[in-house]
Amino acid sequence: MAALLTDLAPRRLAQGDLRSDLDLTAPELVALLDLTIQLKRNPGRYATALKGRYLSLLFEKPSLRTRITFELAIKQLGGDAILSTGPIGEREPLRDVARNLDRWTHGIVARTFSQQTVEELAQWSSVPVINALSDRFHPCQALADMVTLKERFGAFRGLKLAFIGDGNNVAHSLMLQLSRLGADFAIATPQGHEPEPGIVAQARSFAWETGAKFEVCRDPYEAVRGAHAVYTDVWASMGQEAEAEQRKANFAGYQVSENVMAAAREDAIFMHCLPAKRGQEVTDAVMEFPRSVVFDQAENRLHAQKALLLMLLP
C-alpha cells in the first residue's frame, strides 16, 4: 500500500489513531484533504489497496451516513467491515473489548456517547481507533466538510464559516480544523450552550498561529456577516431527547432562515451535518436552497473516510 500512496500521501498519520481532530497535525490534515479529492476523482485507483483488511464498527448510536460510508469505504478499497451495535464496554471492560478486536480486525471505528470510550479503546488497542462521533468531537464529519469547502472555494485563508446553534461536537471539530487551516470561524450560540472553553482556547491558539479570526458571540446576524458558509446542527443531539422542549425555547431566534442567509455573503453556501429537523434549526427553504451543499457534505464522508483508512490502516 505504501508504494501506491507515494504521490498523494507520503506520510502515515503519526498519532496512529483519530481520537479527535487534535490527532492530526496541520500538514497531515492538508495531505488527507488532498488525498480525499484525488480519491473522489479516481474512485477505482485504490480498489485493492486494503484487500484483506477488516474494520470493527462499534456503534452505540443510530447511524445512516457514518455506518454506510465507513462500510462502503473499506469495501471499495478491497476490505470489509463487521458491525456491532449497542453499549460498548457494558458486558465486559473496554480494555478487554479492545484487546479482543485487535486480534481479529485491523482497525476499530467507534460511534459513542462518551469521548472517554474512544480514549480507552485507543489506549488498549494495538490497531488504529477512529472516532466516528462522540459527545466532544466529530472529526470525520469535519473532514468531509473541509473537503466540501475546498471544492467550493479552493483555499481556506480568507474564508469564513459561521456556525449557528449549539456549541456541540460538530462545532468543536469545525473550529479546530478550520482554525488550523487558516480559515475564519464565528459561532453564535445562546447563553449556556457555548462550546467547551478548553476547546475554544485550543482553536484560538491555532487561529493565532495561522492568522485566522475566531469569534464567539450571541447574535446570529453578527456571526454570519461576511460568511462564505453558514452551518447549523440540531438543537438536541442524541442522548439529549429529554431536553428537547427546553432547548427549542432556548434556541428560539437561532434558526437559519432565508433572512439569516441573506445577511451572509451573496455567494454563501448552507451546510448541515444531517439529519436535519426542518422547521427547527433550519427552514425547509434553506435546506432546498440552490447553494445548499448538505448532500455534497454527505457524499464527501465516503471519500474522506477512504483517505483516512488509507493513511491509518496497517
Q: Is residue 87 part of a domain?
A: yes
Domain that includes residue 108, residue range: 21-138+301-312
Question: What is the number of structural domains in the chain?
Answer: 2
- Those residues whose C-beta lies under 8 Å from the C-beta of residue 114, and which sit 6 or more positions away, are 134, 135
The answer to whether residue 9 sits within a structural domain is: no
Separation CA 145–CA 66 (nearest Å): 14
As annotated, the active-site residues are 111, 138, 141, 233, 273, 301
Q: pTM for this structure?
A: 0.95
Residues 240 and 104 in one domain: no
CA 10, CA 1: separation in Å to the nearest integer?
11
- Summarised one tens digit per residue, pLDDT across range 193-218 is 999 999 999 999 999 999 999 999 99
Are 129 and 179 in the same domain? no
- Would you say residue 6 lies in a domain? no
CA distance 48 to 43: 11
Which of 23, 5, 3 is closest to 15 using CA atoms? 23
State whether 85 and 217 are in the same domain: no
Q: What is the pLDDT of residues 235-290, one digit of tens each?
A: 987 677 778 789 999 999 999 999 999 999 999 999 999 999 999 999 999 999 99
Residues 124 and 79 in one domain: yes
User: Is residue 280 in some structural domain?
Assistant: yes
- My answer on whether 149 and 81 are in the same domain is no
Question: Is 134 in the same domain as 145?
Answer: no
In tens, the pLDDT along 264-279 reads 999 999 999 999 999 9
Query: At 121, which CATH number?
Result: 3.40.50.1370
Same domain, 122 and 199: no
